[in-house]
């Protein structure tokens, strides 16, 4: 039997499986040296006009909701406490949501902060680490705005800007530095309070230095609820509630401006998703080492 699959498609498929399947074995998890730090500030914009209530079920049609936008200003930091132990923290300092057309509504507030520790298990050319983080429900989960299908006028959900639950996540991170790049992977399990589904997540990535100043990374990710849930499944386009799942990718370009400062651009997209809007998602950032 002759295989008529185009060479380009086979190469793309091979790259995908190389990153996703091999990276978890040898592939993220570097700790900061004691007293060293890494800081990152970035703006995230997600624009969409459709909402998917479910995936591969009776609710799986994409419902039009008009112009929908999220803009977040995020801060992330790492600090080496001792050799092999790094403090990590993330805070969406500003979260804004707005819809137009018949779903005219806007909101600006703060997001849920996270903090934890990364423990280096192996820190050689091949690295492995265990990271534990907790997320506090600071964002106002009580704010809910009905939204409607712009074609039919039918109410199909509520916008919520905070999940309103505590999260506790454990992640196993692995990676390996290459001559001009790296490969890495993570697998995580997140417990959520108030009867929400626990969540399993994974990622695999590969990076390459095109020059002394430009570094590119391709990353594939997946998030899936597991186990049972006593809480209702979420019906918000924000994708932060109970039952959200997706698989996606990101492409990142990092431009080193000095020994300490770099700027970057990230494009994110989804292959499959449910109980949220689709993309695209654009990010720009400043990073200080």
pLDDT of residue 263 exceeding 80: yes
What's the rounded mean pLDDT across residues 140-158? 91
Q: Which domain holds residue 12?
A: 7-31+50-58+117-280
pLDDT score recorded for residue 55: 63
Domain assignment of residue 97, yes or no: no
Domain assignment of residue 105, yes or no: no
Model pLDDT for residues 243-257, shown as the tens digit of each residue: 999 999 999 999 999
CA dist., res. 99 & res. 91, Å (int): 24
Burial of 84 from C-beta contacts in 10 A (0-12 / 13-18 / 19+): middle
Name which of 76, 51, 72, 75 is nearest 61 in CA terms.
Answer: 51
Domain assignment of residue 71, yes or no: no
Number of domains in the chain: 1
Residues, the chain: 289
Kindly report the CATH number assigned to the domain that includes residue 130: 2.40.160
Q: Tally Cβ neighbours within 10 Å of residue 161.
A: 24
Burial of 153 from C-beta contacts in 10 A (0-12 / 13-18 / 19+): exposed
Domain assignment of residue 2, yes or no: no
Alpha helices (H) in the chain, listed in sequence order: 7-17, 23-26
Buried b (16+ CB within 10 A) or exposed e, 222-239: bbebeeebeeebbbbbbb
What's the rounded mean pLDDT across residues 250-269? 96
Q: 37-52 and 62-82 as β-strands: parallel, antiparallel, unpaired?
A: antiparallel
Model pLDDT for residues 121-146, shown as the tens digit of each residue: 999 989 999 999 999 999 998 888 99
pLDDT score recorded for residue 47: 92
Model pLDDT for residues 8-55, shown as the tens digit of each residue: 555 444 444 333 333 333 336 899 999 999 999 999 999 998 898 876
Handedness of CA 141, 147, 149, 152 (dihedral sign): positive
Whether 55 contacts 100, CB under 8 Å: no
Confidence of residue 89 (pLDDT cuts 50, 70, 90): very high
pLDDT score recorded for residue 62: 86
Domain assignment of residue 1, yes or no: no
pLDDT score recorded for residue 279: 81
CA dist., res. 289 & res. 285, Å (int): 13
Domain assignment of residue 17, yes or no: yes
Domain assignment of residue 18, yes or no: yes
User: How many CA atoms are closer than 13 Å to the CA of 27, on its beta-carbon side?
Assistant: 22
Q: Give pTM, 2 decimals.
A: 0.86
Domain assignment of residue 201, yes or no: yes
Contacts of 183 (CB under 8 A, 6+ apart): 19, 22, 23, 26, 27, 175, 176, 204, 205, 206, 207
pLDDT of residue 224 exceeding 70: yes
Confidence of residue 278 (pLDDT cuts 50, 70, 90): confident
pLDDT score recorded for residue 8: 52
Q: Which region among 57-61, 131-135, 211-215 has the lowest average model confidence (pLDDT)? A: 57-61
């Amino acid at each position: 039997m002759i295989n008529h699959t185009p060479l380009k498609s086979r190469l793309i498929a091979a790259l995908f499986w190389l990153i996703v399947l091999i990276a978890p074995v040898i592939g993220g998890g570097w700790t900061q040296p004691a007293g060293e730090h890494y800081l990152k500030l970035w703006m995230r914009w997600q624009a969409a006009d459709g909402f998917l209530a479910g995936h591969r079920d009776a609710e799986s049609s994409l419902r039009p909701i008009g112009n929908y936008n999220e803009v977040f200003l995020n801060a992330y930091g790492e600090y080496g406490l001792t050799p092999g132990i790094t403090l990590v923290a993330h805070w969406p300092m500003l979260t804004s949501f707005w819809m137009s057309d018949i779903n005219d509504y806007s909101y600006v507030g703060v997001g849920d902060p996270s903090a934890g520790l990364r423990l280096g298990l192996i820190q050689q050319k091949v690295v492995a680490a265990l990271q534990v983080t907790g997320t506090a429900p600071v964002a106002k989960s009580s704010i809910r705005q009905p939204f409607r299908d712009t074609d039919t006028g039918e109410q199909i959900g509520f916008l919520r800007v905070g999940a309103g639950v505590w999260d506790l996540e454990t992640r196993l991170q692995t990676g390996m530095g290459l001559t001009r790049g790296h490969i890495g992977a993570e697998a995580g399990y997140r417990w959520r309070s108030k009867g929400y589904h626990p969540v399993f997540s994974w990622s695999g990535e590969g990076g390459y230095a095109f020059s002394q100043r430009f570094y590119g990374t391709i990353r594939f990710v997946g998030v899936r609820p597991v186990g049972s849930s006593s809480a209702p499944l979420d019906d918000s386009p924000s994708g932060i509630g109970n039952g959200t799942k997706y698989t996606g990718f990101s492409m990142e370009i990092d431009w080193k401006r000095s020994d300490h400062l770099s700027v970057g651009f990230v494009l994110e997209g989804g292959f499959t998703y449910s109980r949220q809007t689709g993309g695209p998602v654009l990010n720009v950032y400043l990073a200080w080492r």
